[in-house]
Structure 1
Amino acid sequence: MHQAERNSQCVLISEPTSQSPSTSGPFQACPLAASSVPLEALKNSMCSRGWEWWLALELLLLPLVLLETSVQDHLVHRLMAVSGSNVSLQIPENLSEKYKQLTWFNTTKQKILEWEWESDKTKYFRSKFETRITFDPQSGALNISDVRKEDSSDYLVRVLMASGTEREWKIPLEVFDPVPKPVIEAKQIKKVDNTCYLTLSCTVPDQSVNYEWYGDSGPLPQEFQRSVLNITLNPQNFSKSFTCQVSNHVSSENATVYFTSSCVLARSFGVTRMASWLVVTAPLVLGFLLT
């Protein structure tokens, strides 16, 4: 065989010589007679195995290549809304790249709508939202009107980009009913000498609320922040009124009872006059909910 022909072959082991096979190096040649296995067949066999090895390596690396075009799942912070309001579920990133298809899901299986670039039309699927939703193809936002507590769910938007990449965002929505106005009931008003032992109960039909009690000068200490207020009053800490404020994540309500003197409940038990500190804190709470 000429030297040029040898260089063009895929040679993985040294060509046998008339001397004994060498055992040095990473490979050990098999002690076969030159006549038992033709040299050309041996080279072709080793070359074929080399290609099989490269093919196996490419298959192992294929998932890493496909990872760039796989689904990217992003979880957005929970969105809270009051029942009866209108909600816009926004994709948190600008869709700067053109997309071919966009699908909104109520669950991973229930489609709400689907928009395709080729037809520029929105297909609405049968669902409880059928008459309460609109879609903005420019931003990809899903708008739901008159939301209800049963609309609380993890919404999923899946976008097929023009490049072939598929992206997903999961948007949790939780809807709360407005907090009802609480009712304060005087469970105990007992005066002993100059000390008044007072027990007030604040109740609302919805139990999943937070309670806060306030006196004339502002909020009471943390240990009093529960539905029932047990407090001992004396001339040093006497308060002319006590207000119970109940709240959830989206709304709040309050009720106030008044005292003409220590342990003497005012006749106008249900007066709706608001304490000055509530006038100050209400805009702050509203601003927090809107941000």
Structure 2
Amino acid sequence: MWKCLERVLCLNCAFAFAIILARTGASPVIVNGALGYSVSLSPLTSVSQGIDEVVWRRLSPRMKLARCSQGSVQYFNTNYTNRITLHYRNFSLEIHDLRKEDAAEYEVITATGNTGNEHSELFQLKVYGLVSGAHITVQGIFGICNLTLICTVTSGDPTFTWWRNGEALVNDSTQHIRVLGNMLEVHHAAEVKYAVYKCEASNPISKATAEIKLRDVCKLDTSDPLPNSSICAEFQATRSSAATGSF
């Protein structure tokens, strides 16, 4: 009898431990959203699993957002008024008109009435602005070979990647190039007739690019009038964007 009781207790402990793992053990699913657009947080749980109640909440600061029970949806937090939709057919939470302050960790808890089981899933929402308006400017004195290319954007919070004639550049990739984030120091070699430099500004949801073609600035006659650096550069910019979520 004691062995049977011990076995039952062990099974109960294992079941309770499994519930705790379901609630706390999994890493959050990373979801990227675009500022001003909509994004959906979609749990793996389906209606076919006999779910009776679904609750969505934000974890920091802790607040209940929405609850769905028997097909009836209730919303709670005024910070999200008219900006969230709980879709009872798939239990997803859609956040509209994303704001920077919406970036946070979210939790969905589903409960099955006949067993009392609860299951939790975590989502880490990150919100980014779309990158746009990439532009390259040139600083330096033509004819002395040393130039600094500066890549700027009009919006977004990007990281920068530089390319030269189709080859990705890293810091100190050659003795003539030094990468400093959005700045590229070029010690132009006299034997190079021209080079095309490309800046790619990107974040997880979008990117913008700009290109500039530099002639052999080391061989220019510095006595020629040079009102500004654009006389020695051909400029072309392109932009593309893509984001995760519902746009």
Give TM class, smaller chain. Answer: 0.7 to 0.9
Partners of 1:221 and 1:65 in 2: how far apart? 54
2:51 pairs with 1:99:
yes
2:42 pairs with 1:90:
yes
Partners of 2:151 and 2:216 in 1: how far apart? 21
Partners of 2:215 and 2:230 in 1: how far apart? 5
Partners of 2:27 and 2:129 in 1: how far apart? 25
- Counterpart code for 1:79: V
Does the 8 Å contact 1:69/1:164 carry over to 2? no
Q: 1:235 to 1:289 in 2, by over 3 A?
A: farther
**SS where residue 178 of structure 1 aligns?**
coil
1:136-147, aligned counterparts within 5 Å?
136-147=87-98
Does the 8 Å contact 2:128/2:156 carry over to 1? no
- Compute the displacement of 1:227 (Å): 1.9
Partners of 1:143 and 1:61 in 2: how far apart? 41
Residue aligning to 2:136: 184
Does the 8 Å contact 2:131/2:156 carry over to 1? no
Does the 8 Å contact 1:160/1:167 carry over to 2? yes
2:135 pairs with 1:221:
no
Residue aligning to 2:65: 112
Q: Which has the larger radius of gyration?
A: 1
- Counterpart code for 2:217: S
Candidates 143, 147, 158, aligned match of 1:209? 158
Moved more, 206-215 or 145-154: 206-215
- Counterpart code for 2:160: Y
- Compute the displacement of 1:268 (Å): 8.7
Residue aligning to 2:29: 77
- Compute the displacement of 1:65 (Å): 5.8
- Compute the displacement of 1:235 (Å): 4.7
Partners of 2:215 and 2:15 in 1: how far apart? 77
- Counterpart code for 1:64: C
1:1-291, aligned counterparts within 5 Å?
61=10, 63-64=12-13, 66-67=15-16, 70-71=19-20, 72-73=22-23, 74-107=26-59, 109-117=62-70, 120-162=71-113, 163-192=115-144, 196-204=145-153, 208-215=157-164, 217-223=165-171, 224-225=178-179, 226-259=181-214, 261-262=216-217, 265-267=229-231, 271-274=235-238, 286=242
- Counterpart code for 2:76: F
Aligned residue pairs, count: 224
Q: 1:156 to 1:136 in 2, by over 3 A?
A: same
Partners of 1:256 and 1:246 in 2: how far apart? 12
- Counterpart code for 2:29: H
- Counterpart code for 1:231: V
- Compute the displacement of 1:259 (Å): 3.6
Percent identical = 21
- Compute the displacement of 1:231 (Å): 1.7
- Give the TM-score of the pair, scaled to structure 1: 0.64
Partners of 2:186 and 2:36 in 1: how far apart? 38
- Give the TM-score of the pair, scaled to structure 2: 0.74
Partners of 1:233 and 1:289 in 2: how far apart? 40
Partners of 2:128 and 2:58 in 1: how far apart? 18
- Compute the displacement of 1:204 (Å): 4.5
Structure 1 outlier segments of 4+, above 6 Å = 53-56
Q: Give deviations 1:85-108, integer Å, cap 9, x for gaps.
A: 211110024343111111000127
**SS where residue 97 of structure 2 aligns?**
coil
Q: Which runs of 5+ in 2 are unaligned?
A: 172-177, 221-228
Q: 1:144 to 1:180 in 2, by over 3 A?
A: same
Partners of 1:97 and 1:207 in 2: how far apart? 41
Q: Which runs of 5+ in 1 are unaligned?
A: 1-50
- Compute the displacement of 1:272 (Å): 3.7
Partners of 1:172 and 1:140 in 2: how far apart? 17
Q: Which has the higher contact order (CA 8 A, sep 6+)?
A: 2
Does the 8 Å contact 1:69/1:165 carry over to 2? no
- Compute the displacement of 1:212 (Å): 1.6
- Compute the displacement of 1:218 (Å): 1.2
Does the 8 Å contact 2:129/2:155 carry over to 1? no
RMSD: 3.4
